[in-house]
Structure 1
């Protein structure tokens, strides 16, 4: 006999996952009302569904901007979807906003995904690791294994999709995107981004007060 699941519990699960009412009801029945377990099961189901959508063309969407408090960091991000209908959805706008905020917070991120990292950058990181002192006396095979592990870690640090979502550290940005693919039923893709940091790349003037006073005295 199926345990009774209250409408309040179903509504709570729907609010937390964005899944349909019937999917929430079935997930709760399968887990005997355990919401956390139901969320995990819905997430697995959604990720499987999302993987099938990833190859579909996404040319609609929006460009979202975010300026951090103090106006010293700004971000522009292009988020694509398949239809203008989804592009106008408030939840899609909220997703774009969250991604822009993530990029402002994660300043080590330089690429959308590991696949976007140029080979010369990968090779440069590899060469740096190979020359580190702690690997000098390691056998070549062990050395390569250690370096490959470190390289993968470094590439993940550079990749947005591999970051933990700052608003829910239990999932990555990649998983977040797939959850929204499942929610909207169409492909969603972070195409590109640009981060602006006030004064970045400029040679800042450093005033030496003692030197300035000395110069003024000598000129008199």
Structure 2
């Protein structure tokens, strides 16, 4: 017997996920009307779509400015997509706002991805971890693995895409972006960001 899908449930799923009406209906049908399973299905499909589109050029987008309550902290953020049409979509602006708020919430962030962290910073962190007393009597191979793991853990605290997303602790910022890619159907990348704190000046 075919599962009957209530149009109100389809609309609710669309409002929550941002996916198209037909995609929402199909997700509910595939999961026998189970709402939570349909949400997970749409999220997984969005991430798979994002991986396929990751190599596409992103020459459009927007510069988004966010001023935190009290006007003592500001974020300037560039987010790129493939077309001007998507750059004007409300979902794209919402993504930029959410990411800007993520940056505002974490003063330790310095880079978008691991690739942006300078080799000199990685080398300094490696030297620091290698010199710790608890590693002195470890075999070289094990010591190197421990150091590499600790360095990665330390550097991830500085990377935007690796952070736990402030609006859903079950996913990272990178996974959140992939979900939006699945909704909008275009590759999306965070290009750069700058954090402004009142009274702070760069050298």
Where on the TM-score scale, by shorter chain, does this alignment land: which range? over 0.9
User: 1:7 matched to which residue of 2?
Assistant: 7
Q: How does 1:43-82 map to 2 (within 5 A)?
A: 43-82=43-82
* Residues 54-109 of structure 1 deviation map (CA, whole Å, 9 limit, x = unaligned): 11111111111111112221110001111111111222111111111111101111
Per-residue deviation, 1:201: 4.8
* Residues 11-34 of structure 1 deviation map (CA, whole Å, 9 limit, x = unaligned): 111111111222211211222222
User: 1:23 matched to which residue of 2?
Assistant: 23
User: 2:41 matched to which residue of 1?
Assistant: 41
User: 2:184 matched to which residue of 1?
Assistant: 184
User: 1:132 matched to which residue of 2?
Assistant: 132
Higher gyration radius (CA): 1
User: 1:209 matched to which residue of 2?
Assistant: none
User: 1:213 matched to which residue of 2?
Assistant: none
Per-residue deviation, 1:161: 0.6
User: 1:104 matched to which residue of 2?
Assistant: 104
User: 2:159 matched to which residue of 1?
Assistant: 159
Per-residue deviation, 1:181: 1.3
Q: Give the match's secondary structure for 1:78.
A: strand
Per-residue deviation, 1:138: 2.2
Per-residue deviation, 1:182: 1.4
Unaligned ranges ≥5, structure 1: 203-220
CA distance in 2, matches of 1:201, 1:15: 42
Q: Give the match's secondary structure for 1:69.
A: coil
Residue 121 of structure 2 corresponds to residue 117 of structure 1: no
User: 2:171 matched to which residue of 1?
Assistant: 171
Q: Give the match's secondary structure for 1:138.
A: coil
Residue 137 of structure 2 corresponds to residue 141 of structure 1: no
User: What is the total number of aligned residue pairs between the two structures?
Assistant: 202
Per-residue deviation, 1:134: 2.1
Q: Give the match's secondary structure for 1:190.
A: strand
Per-residue deviation, 1:43: 1.2
CA distance in 1, matches of 2:26, 2:89: 27
CA distance in 2, matches of 1:35, 1:108: 37
User: 1:197 matched to which residue of 2?
Assistant: 197
Q: Give the match's secondary structure for 2:120.
A: helix
CA distance in 2, matches of 1:154, 1:20: 39
Q: Which has the higher contact order (CA 8 A, sep 6+)?
A: 2
TM-score of the pair, normalised by structure 2:
0.94
Displaced runs of 4+ in structure 1, greater than 6 A? none
